[in-house]
Amino acid sequence: MIRFDNVTKRFADGTNAVDGLSMDMPTGEITVLVGSSGCGKTTSLRMVNRMVEPTAGTITIEDRDVTSLPAHELRRGIGYVIQQVGLFPHRKVIDNVTTVPGLLGWDKKRSRTRALELLELVGLPAAYGDRYPAQLSGGQQQRVGVARALAADPPVLLMDEPFGAVDPIVRAQLQQQFLKLQRELHKTIVFVTHDVDEAILLGDRIAVLTAGAHIEQLAPPGELLARPTNEFVADFLGNDRGLKLLSLVPATEVPVDPVHAVDGWRLVTDNDQRPVGWANGHAGGPVPVSGVGPRDTARSLLDAAVSAPTGCAVRVDDDRKVVGLVRYEAIGKLLGERLQAAM
């Protein structure tokens, strides 16, 4: 979908923010650009919609040079989401969302219908369309920003630190909502972040960049974590690469043992076989336990096992009914196998 061919951006002071970048960004995938501040990731993204003009080289979208269209026409076909959201404060939410359809000449009924569909898609009630941005929380404003970027159904979406200005809980919610959206829409997305965990969670492919947007490694998250190409990439990913790798493994891939007493502890369940807690016969109620579901990851299992008095996580099904126990040792064995297979 998007191709950079020896692209350079040289600023007036002589700085090469991007120096000879060549890479492909596949159709329907999320390509994440990560790297230290000043490495050229945002400049690279902004050259796609010509918010920044390249000094040399070619950027194409579906084999069409981005410079072959006037910049304002190009941008109407590319969604753009930034950290500060950039909503028009004097316009209602629904009017913000319909900005690009209006520029494209859509009639008001079609624009409004599309806006209401998108508000629902990003998890906001239709009634929020009649509010002003100042009446929304930061996370809600960010959802509106995503809806606005998708309003004209662009094939390409550029996202520059879109969730960086909200608190961790809201950020996690926005990330999950974004993944749900992508499973439905299959957009070609260029996503800039400085957060390695966010890159691993969201990216189909991750480009780790150094100064001048030099690509140190471009790979799917699992390959990147298991086989960093050099010391810089390994250091950038952090010493907990193994834990990060577990976040890519579905909980359902870890072996489950039958439910039984563990070192004097027994699992207490309710009448529907949903977990309540661990009890050991001493005074006081059971130690509460949260089951790990089929859509969770092996890292969630590890967190649950470490926090449990038994060293076991409790796996549950979609109805939150107990499936079995997962031992701490089983998670470690699986991680070792995954790392060995990647060598």
Q: Is pLDDT of 342 > 70?
A: no
- Positions of E strands within the chain: 2-10, 16-25, 30-35, 56-61, 64-65, 78-82, 156-160, 188-192, 205-210, 214-219, 266-269, 275-279, 287-288, 312-316, 322-327
Give tens-digit pLDDT for 169-225: 878 888 888 888 898 889 999 999 988 999 999 999 999 999 999 999 999 998 999
CB of 174 closer than 8 Å to CB of 181: no
Minimum mean pLDDT range among 43-47, 134-138, 334-338: 334-338
CB of 292 closer than 8 Å to CB of 301: yes
pTM: 0.82
Residues 18-34, mean pLDDT to the nearest whole number: 96
Q: What is the pLDDT of residue 104?
A: 83
Q: Is pLDDT of 311 > 80?
A: yes
Would you kindly state where each structural domain of the chain is located, as residue ranges? Answer: 2-243, 251-342
**Cα angle: 97, vertex 128, 175; to 5 degrees:** 70
| pLDDT-derived band at 283, boundaries 50, 70, 90 | low
Q: What angle do the packed helices 138-150 and 108-121 form, to 10 degrees?
A: 130
% pLDDT > 70, the chain: 98
- Is 251-342 in the same CATH topology as 2-243? no
234 backbone dihedrals φ, ψ, rounded to 5°: -60, -45
Residues 286-309, mean pLDDT to the nearest whole number: 91
Q: What is the pLDDT of residue 149?
A: 85
% pLDDT > 90, the chain: 51
The structure tokens listed for 256 are: 């489950």
Strand pairing report for 188-192 and 156-160: parallel
Strand pairing report for 322-327 and 214-219: unpaired
Q: Is pLDDT of 46 > 90?
A: yes
**Cα angle: 172, vertex 173, 178; to 5 degrees:** 100
The CA distance from 70 to 38, in Å, is: 28
The structure tokens listed for 155 are: 């094939």
The full DSSP string for 275-339 is EEEEE-SSSS-PEE--PBPTTSBHHHHHHHHHHSTTSEEEEE-TTS-EEEEEEHHHHHHHHHHHH
| pLDDT-derived band at 120, boundaries 50, 70, 90 | confident
313 strand-pairing partners? 326
The CA distance from 319 to 293, in Å, is: 9
Cβ neighbors of 43 (< 8 A, separation 6 or more) are 9, 17, 18, 52, 213
DSSP state of 14: S
What is the dotted CATH code of the domain comprising 251-342? 3.10.580.10
| pLDDT-derived band at 23, boundaries 50, 70, 90 | very high
What is the dotted CATH code of the domain comprising 2-243? 3.40.50.300
